[in-house]
Amino acid sequence: QTARQRRLRDALMPLIYSVRLPLSAVAFVLTALLLISGSPLSAAECTPDNRAAQRPNIIMILCDDLGWGDLGIHGHPIIRTPHIDGLARDGLRFTDFYSAAPVCSPSRVGLMTGRSPNRAGVYDWIPPAGKPRSDAREQVHMRREEVTIPQLLKQAGYATCMAGKWHCNSAFNSPEQPQPGDAGFDHWLATQNNAGPSHENPVNYVRNGEEVGRIEGYSCQIAATEVITWVGQHRDAHPEQPFFAYLAFHEPHEPVASPPELVEMYRPHCISDDQAQFFANVHNVDLAVGKVVDALQELKVRDNTLIVFSADNGPETLNRYRTANRSWGVTSHLRGMKLHTHDGGFHVAGIMNWPNHIEAGQVCQQPASALDLLPTFAELAGAELTDGRRFDGISLAEFFQSKQFPERSQPLVWVYYNAINDARVAMRFGPWKVLARLGGGTVPKYENLTPQSLAQVSASPLTDFEVYRVDRDPGETMNLSGHDDPAVQEICERLRSEYQQLVKDFPAWTPTVAP
């Protein structure tokens, strides 16, 4: 199709679906209009089977604070995750998959936009809006001008839904800032941050702008049921229209609460009740994933649904604060935890499953990222990225067909000014991982950037490099920065260059109160 034809198709799809035309009529109308607009589609391109094969339903499942080592497929000795493991065994598993940040809000904004969250002005987790602060943190949100996955897919004719944790703004369910609906979701059931008061019987869900009060059950099951119900209703009303669902579990982020029968099952294998609570929490997530997969089968949409499973960042450190008393997540062989710029902070699960399109048992050892999901989904959906915006990911769609991983010409770069470890900047490029401090450690930690702090971090040089060959040393134990190796010097210079270019795009938030 020409660009003109694609634009016409994308404009017409929502109208066609709104009047519930049968699939044969959809094909006829599109063919006729595209013939008028220019060169025609072939008959093969208009057949229902080809259209279904080219435009999958997509379900993005995101866990909260799930460690790399918390899944059975990654070797956890106790936690049972057969449904998630099954998605991996029957599909594609990434050994080196990365989230967009080592903490929740920027990670989610990066996933939604396909861009470094720093370009969107989201530098750390977003607290609920409150009194004005000297660092303007109460203002932070994913700005309206950002282009998101659901917006792109809606333009391509998809229906969209989300359920679970939003955490992309401070003024939640308020006209002051964009909400999930403004970001492109037709239907949403969400919380600003954590499920409260815990995962059990949460009281803070909002559905399409309306507070719903206490909901009986556990958050992951509630969110899964919402998506299943929506998919079923959508299939009945618009059986030919593809859909995108974003299922953002709160689990296993604290405050952890799990079904008693699962806790009891794990208690004999644990050193404490708190540990059993966490293990049961991950198990409950697995049950929710299994429930979704089973429902897709029952609704007869599983075969053309791409399921992607990942996490927003690494696991919380046990007892780092009071309510982290049940945070027993592990990173396995990886160094660091959530809030770290070593791999334990953002090296997360990456699983893709699409029957008849992704062969079972595939393992990809090339670095991939949540930033790749927007361009991947856009290509599969036939959506165009045409506004000249800089995206930081690459499309993985060709891997599904050729099994050849697309070349990544640009490295993955993370900038987190509130990291627990000393390095504020990190980069993965090929087999190399390189980290650096800012200004010899003289730059303070920042949770947000104002014009003043942005000027400081922009002017501060990168120092104290750490360099690792993570293909040989995934635990980042052997720092090669002192080696007289041209490749080491080259990768350090590359990080300097990438950081200098990236920081030029960082927006600042202007405080309304004096420091």
Q: Which of 191-195, 259-263, 320-324, 387-391 has the lowest mean pLDDT?
A: 387-391
Q: Using an 8 Å Cβ cutoff, are 447 and 124 in contact?
A: yes
Tell me, yes or no, whether 513 lies in a domain: no
Residue 59, helix vs strand vs coil: strand
pLDDT in tens, 22-62: 444 444 444 444 444 443 333 333 333 344 447 999 999 99
For the chain, the C-alpha Rg in angstroms (whole number) is: 23
Clarify whether residues 46 and 82 are in a common domain: no
Exposure b/e, 308-344, CB count within 10 A at least 16 = b: bbbbbbbbbbbeeeeebbbbbbbbbbbbbbbbbbbbb
pLDDT of residue 386: 72
User: In angstroms, rounded to a whole number, what is the distance separating the alpha carbons of residues 196 and 210?
Assistant: 17
Tell me, yes or no, whether 510 lies in a domain: no
- Secondary structure element (H or E) that encloses residue 401, with its range: helix 397-402
Q: The pTM is what?
A: 0.90
Clarify whether residues 447 and 377 are in a common domain: no
pLDDT of residue 403: 81
Clarify whether residues 7 and 64 are in a common domain: no
Name every residue whose Cβ is closer than 8 Å to that of residue 321 and which is 6 or more positions away in sequence: none
pLDDT of residue 401: 79
Residue whose structure tokens are 């035309």: 21
User: In angstroms, rounded to a whole number, what is the distance separating the alpha carbons of residues 507 and 313?
Assistant: 23
Tell me, yes or no, whether 407 lies in a domain: no
Res 499 pLDDT > 60? yes
* CATH at 451: 3.30.1120.10
Clarify whether residues 199 and 338 are in a common domain: yes
Clarify whether residues 181 and 126 are in a common domain: yes
Tell me, yes or no, whether 514 lies in a domain: no
Tell me, yes or no, whether 263 lies in a domain: yes
Quote the tokens at residue 199.
């995962």
Tell me, yes or no, whether 191 lies in a domain: yes
User: In angstroms, rounded to a whole number, what is the distance separating the alpha carbons of residues 318 and 324?
Assistant: 6
Domain span including residue 27: 3-52
**Across the strands, what pairs with 363?**
93
Name every residue whose Cβ is closer than 8 Å to that of residue 163 and which is 6 or more positions away in sequence: 188, 189, 190, 222, 223, 224, 226, 227, 230, 245, 246, 247, 248
Res 412 pLDDT > 80? yes
**Across the strands, what pairs with 309?**
61, 351
Tell me, yes or no, whether 445 lies in a domain: yes
Query: Residue 197's CB: how many other CB atoms inside 10 A?
Result: 12
Clarify whether residues 67 and 45 are in a common domain: no
Domain boundary residue, one of 402, 428, 443: 402
Domain boundary residue, one of 13, 30, 52: 52
User: What mean pLDDT do residues 77-106 have?
Assistant: 99
pLDDT in tens, 279-308: 999 999 999 999 999 999 999 999 999 999
What is the Cα 190 distance to its own chain's centre? 16
List, edge to edge, every strand of the sheet that includes 412-415: 412-415, 425-429, 432-438, 462-469
On average, the pLDDT of the chain sits at: 92
Q: Using an 8 Å Cβ cutoff, are 135 and 514 in contact?
A: no
Query: Residue 477's CB: how many other CB atoms inside 10 A?
Result: 9
Clarify whether residues 149 and 120 are in a common domain: yes
Name every residue whose Cβ is closer than 8 Å to that of residue 265 and which is 6 or more positions away in sequence: 280, 283
Clarify whether residues 298 and 322 are in a common domain: yes
Tell me, yes or no, whether 515 lies in a domain: no
pLDDT of residue 400: 83
pLDDT in tens, 420-441: 999 999 999 999 999 999 999 9
- Secondary structure element (H or E) that encloses residue 286, with its range: helix 273-298
Name every residue whose Cβ is closer than 8 Å to that of residue 298 and which is 6 or more positions away in sequence: none
Clarify whether residues 335 and 452 are in a common domain: no
* CATH at 71: 3.40.720.10
Amino acid in the structure at residue 466: E
Clarify whether residues 40 and 65 are in a common domain: no
Clarify whether residues 351 and 455 are in a common domain: no
Residue whose C-alpha is closest to residue 157's, from 49, 224, 234: 234
Three-class HEC string of 242-253: CEEEEEECCCCC
pLDDT in tens, 349-392: 999 999 999 999 999 999 999 999 999 999 999 999 877 889 99
Amino acid in the structure at residue 495: L
Q: Using an 8 Å Cβ cutoff, are 259 and 176 in contact?
A: no
- Secondary structure element (H or E) that encloses residue 428, with its range: strand 425-429
- Pure H helices in 55-148: 82-89, 104-113
pLDDT in tens, 1-16: 433 444 444 445 444 4
How many domains, the chain?
3
Domain boundary residue, one of 367, 402, 437: 402
Q: Using an 8 Å Cβ cutoff, are 360 and 403 in contact?
A: no
Residue whose C-alpha is closest to residue 152's, from 292, 21, 247, 58: 58
Clarify whether residues 243 and 349 are in a common domain: yes
What is the Cα 179 distance to its own chain's centre? 17
User: In angstroms, rounded to a whole number, what is the distance separating the alpha carbons of residues 24 and 240?
Assistant: 10
Res 228 pLDDT > 90? yes
